[in-house]
A = this chain, B = another copy of it.
Amino acid sequence: MSITLAAGALTPKEITVFLLALAVLLGTARLLGEIARRFGQPAVLGEILAGVLLGATVLANVYPPAYDYLFPKYLYDHASGEQVFYDKVDAETDEIIYEAVTDPETGELLYTESKGEPAPSLVLVGLDAFSVLCVCLLLLIAGLEVDLSIVTKQGKAAALVSITGMVVPLAFGCGLAFAVPTLIGYDPTSGKLVPFALFLGIAMSITALPVIAKVLMDLKMFRSDMGMLIMSSAMINDLLGWIGFAIVLSLILPPGESAIPLHFVIPATLVFVGLILTVGRWLADRAIPWVQAHSSFPGGILGFVFTVALLCAALTEWIGIHAIFGAFLAGVALGDSKHLKPQTRRTIEQIVTYIFAPIFFAGVALRVDFLNNFDVVAVVLVLVIAIAGKALGCYAGAKWAGMTKRESWAVGFGMSARGAMEIILGQIALNFGLITDKLFVAIVVMAIVTSVIAGPLMQKALGLKQGKRLLDVLGSKNFLGPLKAGTRDAAIRELSAHAAGVLGKDADTIGDAAIARERVVSTGLADGIAVPHARLATLDEPAVFIGISPPGIDFEAADGQPAEIICLLLTPEDDQRSQIELLRMVAEAFQERATRRSAVEAQGYTQFRAALSIGSAASEAH
C-alpha cells in the first residue's frame, strides 16, 4: 500500500519538519525575548538571538545534522532520497533545454547535460512564504500605531524634527557609502553604487516606531508633549522613509518582474500613497462601522482588516515596490478610523507581536553567519554614523523648534532607536542581493544597539530615574503565603522573622522597629492593603516581604477594611527615597480590584506573581 500525494502538497516528513521548525523558532524566540525584557531590553534582541543560535552562526557549526534537519536547504525525492534539480523546458516547443556533453576524445555526443539549479526544499519555501506574511502583518500593526491627527497637531516642531532628522542621517549614510564603499561590504563589480548608497542613507534615516513607542511607554512619557512630538516626527519620518525605500527598490527591480514600466513605478507609488492617505482613509472610516454593523463581531472586522492589508500588500508588490509598504499604509488608513475598537487593535497586535513577529525575527537571522560576517570596522562605522546622524539631525530640528538643550538631546536620542524596521529593510536588500552579509550583520547590530541605548540615553539627557514595578523586586523568598497570625503585631512579627532569616538580621530588631512605627500612625491603606515599615541601620538594600491573610487582619485602615495583603517594607536608615518608591510600587501593583482578588486567592508564589503580572498588563492596557 502506498500513497499518492496531491501536487504541491507537503509530504508527512516535510510537514513534520515544517511544524517542528516553526515550534523551535517560536519557542526559542519567545523565551529569549522574555529574557531580554527581563533585563530591560527590547524583545526583538532576544528574538534575533534565537535565530543566531538556531541558524548558520551557532547550530550549523556546533551540530550540523540538527540544523540540516530543521532547515533543509534543498529538495530530496521523497521515495528514493535522491536530490532533485530543476530542469527547464522550452515553453513553446515543450522540449527540454539541453546542454550537450560530448566525449572529449572522439567528439561524439555522449549525453545531454540538463542538471540545472538545485530545487529548494519545500520546507524552506513554506517558511519563506510564511515569513512574507509575518512581515506584512508586522508592518500592518506598525501602521495601525500611526495617528495622523497627532501628526498634524504637532505642526511645525514635528515637521522640523522629522525633516532634519531625515536629511542629516540620509546624507551621512550616502556619504559613508560613497566614501568607503568597500569597507562596508560593497561589491564594486556589481555596478549598483547609487542604489546601494541610497539604501544605506534610507536605512540610516528610518526610525522604529514600535521601539520608540515602547521606550516612551516604559519611561511613562508616551502621553507627554515630548512623547507626542517624538512620535509624530517618527511617523512623518517613516512615511517618507518607506516611500524612499520603495523608490530605491524600483531602481533595482529586474525587468519583467514589475507589472508596470519602470518609469511609472515612482509616479504609481506616489499616486498610491496619495490615494490611500485621502480616499483610502475616508473609505476606511466609513467601511469600518458598516462592517461592524453588518457582520458578527469581531469576526467581520478582523477579516476585513486582514483582507485589506493583504490586498494592499499584493498591490504594492505588483507595482514593483515591496509588499510591506502596502501593508503599512493599509494600517495607517485603517488605524486612523476612530471606529476601530481598541479590543480589535489589541487582538491583532497581540497575535502579531507575540506569534508572527518572533517567528519572523528569528527567521531573519537564520541564514546569516553572524560570527564570520562580523566585521568590526563595518559595524563601528555603521553604528557611529547611524547614532551621530540621527541624534545630531533631530537635535538640530528640536533646538530650532525652540526646545531646551536637554529636551533636544532627549528627542535626538529617542529618535535614534532603529530596531525592527531597519532589520526588515536589510533583509529585503539582502534577498535582492543589494547588500552583502557583512553589511547586513552591521545593520542588525546597529538596529539592536540603538534600540537598547535609546531609553537609557533619553533618561540620562532628561535626568530621569526609571520606575520599577513591584514584580521587579519580588523574588520567591519575598513571599510568605498565608500568614498564621490573626493580629497586627503577630503578623508583623511573623513577617519580620521571615525577613530576618532571608537577610541574616535579627528578627526582634526588625519587628520592634516596625511595631514602633505602627504605634505612630497605623499603616493600613484602603482596599485591604497594609504596609508596615521599618528603617534599619544595618540594611544596605531596600526589601519588601509580603504575606496574605484571606480572613483579614485589622490594621486600622481609614475605610475600616481588614488587611488581606500585608507588605513589610524595610529600607536603609538614611534612604528617604527608596521608601517612597516602595510605597508607590505597592500601591501601583494592587490598584486593580481583580489583581487584589487573585493575589489574595493565590496558592503559592507562582500564582501570586501571575496575579501581579496579569494585573500589570491590564493596567497598561487601560
Contact among B85, B111, B431 for A111, CB-based, below 8 A: B111
Q: Which residue of chain B has the shortest Cβ distance to A605 in the bound complex?
A: B293
Judge if A575 is at the interface, Cβ distance under 8 Å. no
Q: Which stretch in A299-307, A393-401, A414-422 binds the other chain?
A: A299-307
B-chain residues with CB within 8 Å of residue A339 when the two chains form the complex = 607, 610
Judge if A191 is at the interface, Cβ distance under 8 Å. yes
Contact among B89, B113, B130, B195 for A1, CB-based, below 8 A: B195
Is there an interface contact between B122 and A119, defined as CB atoms closer than 8 Å?
no
Is there an interface contact between B298 and A354, defined as CB atoms closer than 8 Å?
yes
Is there an interface contact between A19 and B296, defined as CB atoms closer than 8 Å?
no
Q: Which residues between 93 and 131 of chain A lie within 8 Å of chain B, taking CB atoms?
A: 94, 96-98, 109-116, 118-130
Judge if A347 is at the interface, Cβ distance under 8 Å. yes
B-chain residues with CB within 8 Å of residue A111 when the two chains form the complex = 98, 109, 111-112
B-chain residues with CB within 8 Å of residue A118 when the two chains form the complex = 7
The 3 A-B residue pairs with the shortest CB-CB distance, nearest first, are A126-B129, A30-B303, A293-B609
Judge if A179 is at the interface, Cβ distance under 8 Å. no
- Other contacts beyond A8-B120, A33-B299: 16, CB < 8 A: A3-B252, A6-B367, A8-B121, A16-B314, A19-B133, A23-B311, A26-B307, A30-B300, A80-B88, A82-B91, A83-B91, A84-B88, A122-B125, A125-B129, A129-B129, A129-B130
B-chain residues with CB within 8 Å of residue A115 when the two chains form the complex = 87, 89, 96
Is there an interface contact between B317 and A15, defined as CB atoms closer than 8 Å?
yes
In the assembled complex, the CB of A152 is this many whole angstroms from the nearest CB of chain B, namely 22
Q: Which residue of chain B has the shortest Cβ distance to A430 in the bound complex?
A: B6
- Interface flags for A337-362 (1: CB within 8 Å of B; 0: not) read 00101000001001101110010000
Judge if A22 is at the interface, Cβ distance under 8 Å. yes
Is there an interface contact between B302 and A350, defined as CB atoms closer than 8 Å?
yes
Residues of A within 8 A of B (CB): 1-13, 15-20, 22-23, 26-27, 29-30, 33-34, 37, 43, 73-91, 94, 96-98, 109-116, 118-130, 132-133, 136, 191-192, 195, 251-259, 289-290, 292-300, 302-304, 306-307, 310-311, 313-314, 317-318, 320, 323, 339, 341, 347, 350-351, 353-355, 358, 367, 430-434, 605-610, 613-614, 616-617
B-chain residues with CB within 8 Å of residue A34 when the two chains form the complex = 294-296, 299-300
Is there an interface contact between B297 and A613, defined as CB atoms closer than 8 Å?
yes
Is there an interface contact between A132 and B86, defined as CB atoms closer than 8 Å?
no
A311 and B25 alpha carbons, distance in the complex (Å): 11
Q: Which residue of chain B has the shortest Cβ distance to A122 in the bound complex?
A: B125
In the assembled complex, the CB of A79 is this many whole angstroms from the nearest CB of chain B, namely 7
Q: Which residue of chain B has the shortest Cβ distance to A94 in the bound complex?
A: B83
Is there an interface contact between A610 and B289, defined as CB atoms closer than 8 Å?
yes
Is there an interface contact between B122 and A129, defined as CB atoms closer than 8 Å?
yes
Is there an interface contact between A303 and B358, defined as CB atoms closer than 8 Å?
yes
A21 and B479 alpha carbons, distance in the complex (Å): 54
In the assembled complex, the CB of A366 is this many whole angstroms from the nearest CB of chain B, namely 11
Is there an interface contact between B351 and A8, defined as CB atoms closer than 8 Å?
no
Is there an interface contact between B30 and A125, defined as CB atoms closer than 8 Å?
no
Q: Which residue of chain B has the shortest Cβ distance to A618 in the bound complex?
A: B297
B-chain residues with CB within 8 Å of residue A294 when the two chains form the complex = 34, 609, 613
Q: List 23 A-B contacts (CB under 8 A).
A: A1-B195, A3-B253, A3-B257, A4-B433, A5-B431, A16-B323, A19-B133, A30-B300, A34-B294, A43-B299, A80-B88, A83-B88, A84-B89, A89-B115, A109-B110, A123-B129, A126-B128, A130-B130, A293-B607, A297-B613, A302-B350, A306-B355, A347-B347
Contact among B15, B76, B254 for A132, CB-based, below 8 A: B15
B-chain residues with CB within 8 Å of residue A251 when the two chains form the complex = 1
A81 and B89 alpha carbons, distance in the complex (Å): 9
Contact among B122, B311, B318, B347 for A27, CB-based, below 8 A: B311
Q: Which residue of chain B has the shortest Cβ distance to A320 in the bound complex?
A: B12
Contact among B86, B112, B257 for A12, CB-based, below 8 A: B257
B-chain residues with CB within 8 Å of residue A97 when the two chains form the complex = 82
Is there an interface contact between B26 and A303, defined as CB atoms closer than 8 Å?
yes
Is there an interface contact between B306 and A26, defined as CB atoms closer than 8 Å?
yes
B-chain residues with CB within 8 Å of residue A347 when the two chains form the complex = 347, 350-351
Is there an interface contact between A130 and B119, defined as CB atoms closer than 8 Å?
no
Is there an interface contact between B82 and A2, defined as CB atoms closer than 8 Å?
no
A87 and B43 alpha carbons, distance in the complex (Å): 44
